[in-house]
Copies of this chain bind each other. A is one copy, B any other.
Amino acid sequence: MKKNGKISNAVIRRLPRYLRMLEELSVNDVQRVSSKELSEKTGYTASQIRQDLNHFGGFGQQGYGYNVEDLRREIEKILGLTHEYRLVIVGCGRLGRAIANFNYTYNRSFPVVGMFDVNPELIGKTINGVQVAHVDTLPGFLESGEVDIGVICVTKEAAEGVADVLIRGKVRGIWNFAPWDLTEAAGIPVENVHLSDGLQSLVFYINHNEK
């Protein structure tokens, strides 16, 4: 595997997609796959796929393609998905609970170890085995050092304060769903999810599809 410095963000963004395709092939007992087949499944061109995967040593063989299991394991290793990452979810409204549920169902290597809110109606409730606690107890909870990623599911107004607590509590990264851009000035990696961005792009394609 080449050093990270040479891998562009665009490639990193495509790896989870390759991984999903490979997991699906693996479940269906497919043992090898060509860049052409991966192209049909992902929508990227075969040459782009070969170029992307060459970054990591090039395990494709002319006339054979890629070994599904080897490639899957290699991408998992590159991304760092070889072990678990523990999440806390701050904000247990519908979105926070949806994320908890999604992770519980489809994403077992990202266990949710804590859930926090300020709403007395939610505090004490158990969601997929985790009891919602008051957000005031979050700093103490983080002191355990057992949290890898903080997930922000609060309102735009509350988001910055929550981010501060998570950063001071030394989480390793933040997954932010609040409609507000957390900058990486924090010194830790941040993934800002803007649901409406995708919806707006969709609208563009709808209008241009119909012209």
A residues whose Cβ falls under 8 Å from a Cβ of B: 4, 12-13, 15-17, 19-20, 41, 43, 78-81, 85, 93-95, 97-102, 106-107, 110, 148-149, 156, 172-173, 175, 179, 181, 184, 188-191, 193-211
Q: How far is the CB of A87 from chain B (nearest CB, A)?
A: 9
Whether A189 pairs with B175 at a CB distance below 8 angstroms is no
Partner of A149, one of B41, B99, B202: B202
* A78 contact set on B, CB distance < 8 A: 204
Whether A80 pairs with B206 at a CB distance below 8 angstroms is yes
Q: A94-B98, A204-B78, A204-B79 are in contact. Are A199 and B194 (CB under 8 A)?
A: no
Q: Is the interface of A mostly helix, strand, loop or mixed?
A: helix
Whether B193 pairs with A195 at a CB distance below 8 angstroms is yes
Q: How far is the CB of A186 from chain B (nearest CB, A)?
A: 11
Partner of A202, one of B94, B189, B196, B207: B189
| Nearest opposing residue in chain B for A174, CB measure | B202
Q: How far is the CB of A166 from chain B (nearest CB, A)?
A: 13
| Nearest opposing residue in chain B for A75, CB measure | B200
Whether A201 pairs with B101 at a CB distance below 8 angstroms is no
Q: A4-B211, A179-B106, A193-B198 are in contact. Are A203 and B173 (CB under 8 A)?
A: yes
Q: Considering residues A15, A43, A106, A206, which has the most beta carbons from chain B within 10 angstroms of its beta carbon?
A: A206
